[in-house]
Amino acid sequence: MQEARRQRLAHHLQQENTDACILVPGPNLYYFTGLALHQSERLSLAILTKENQLLFLMPKLEVSKVEQVAHDALFSYTDEQGPGQALAEVQKKLGTLGRVGIEYGHMRVKEWKAVEQLGAQEFVEIEQTVDALRVIKDEQEIEAIRQAVRIVEDSFQAILPRVRAGVAELEVAAELEYEMRKRGSEGTPFDTIVASGYRGALPHGRASDKLIQSGELVVIDFGAIFHGYVADITRTVAVGELDAELANIYEVVRQAQQAAVEAVRPGVTAHEIDETARAIIRDSGYGEYFTHRLGHGIGLCGHEEPYMIQNNPLVLAPGMAFTIEPGIYLPNKGGVRIEDNVIVTEDGCLNLMNLPKELLSL
């Protein structure tokens, strides 16, 4: 699978007259090699040439992992040696380079300073090419996302009895993360959001020591990772009896979210999906309180292409995976967000999430 992906990338390099591209530890390296490595103080690079040769520069302690896929060349160094000599050997192996593609969004200055030493005549951004290859998910990727979705849904149901007045947001978040780990999650793609009452008006209200109170909405946004692939869900629940406005904004968001899900199909633009939900919220008088895009792609990253955002002309195609998550956020009062993960199919949309979206009162 990774070999076929590298062949497609090498073909794009040839078409773009680019001699090679350099990948750093992260989602793109995993996608093209299957290696799950993390950026650290030790320099790690993978170089794919337009001839589909794959070279690695790695610290010695990663050799046993990397040599399983390093069929062309592996240059390593010890902590005592440092990467200087190994980098010189890579440069000698590659020879004179013209254009080289790099990951502007993932490469740190540390890697950039090393890459400069390879002596390329020109460095270009490679991420648009990589994003275009990654945006269409294959069946194996979709199945991994589906399993991650199962983890988040089952974990959410498991912690509902713990969401009650007098419980701290941090406690709910900790219980969620524990339940996900028990079910096979490899971690969380972002800090778990549990935002109750007035804190629900913060779209990124990470869990705090605030105690949940009766009469509040609680926004719960969290994610799981399965075989590297992300599920990202938001549900908003009521603790006790709500006032009329909070109950109303919940229903507006629910209707907007459902309409957007039903609008997903091949040939529709990302802008149109966003506008479907946004128009309902705007016509209900809350347009100014929907302050973010409708959704983002999911896959090896929690946020990736495609983005459901105003004025994005991207045409949806089968295999695209993304979230649909409209929200309304009333300052100093509360907020609502509802989020599902969907896949574009040949004739419409597959919503991977099965949890009901009617307001749940605890």
Chosen CATH of 2-134 out of 3.40.50.300, 3.40.350.10, 3.40.50.970, 3.30.565.10: 3.40.350.10
At 70 the pLDDT is 81
pLDDT of residue 251: 98
Task: Enter the tokens of residue 314.
Answer: 């991207």
Q: Please, what are the averages of pLDDT over each run of 10 residues along the chain (362 residues)?
A: 95 96 97 95 97 96 90 92 96 94 94 93 94 97 98 98 98 98 98 98 97 98 98 98 97 98 98 98 98 98 97 98 98 98 97 96 94
What's the pLDDT at 71?
Answer: 74
In this predicted structure, what is the pLDDT of residue 68? 84
Q: What is the pLDDT of residue 193?
A: 98
Per the confidence metrics, is the pTM higher than 0.75? Answer: yes
Q: Kindly report the backbone phi and psi dihedral angles of residue 270, in degrees, each rounded to the nearest multiple of 5, phi listed first.
A: -60, -40
What residue ranges of the chain are covered by domains with CATH 3.90.230.10? 139-361
Please tell me the distance from the alpha carbon of residue 260 to that of residue 325, in angstroms, as a whole number.
9
pLDDT at 72: 77
Strands (E), 151-287: 193-196, 216-226, 229-239
- Residues of CATH 3.40.350.10 domain(s) within the chain? 2-134
How many angstroms from the chain centroid is the CA of residue 181? 18
Handedness of CA 11, 112, 65, 300 (dihedral sign): negative
Name the fold adopted by 139-361: Creatine Amidinohydrolase (3.90.230)
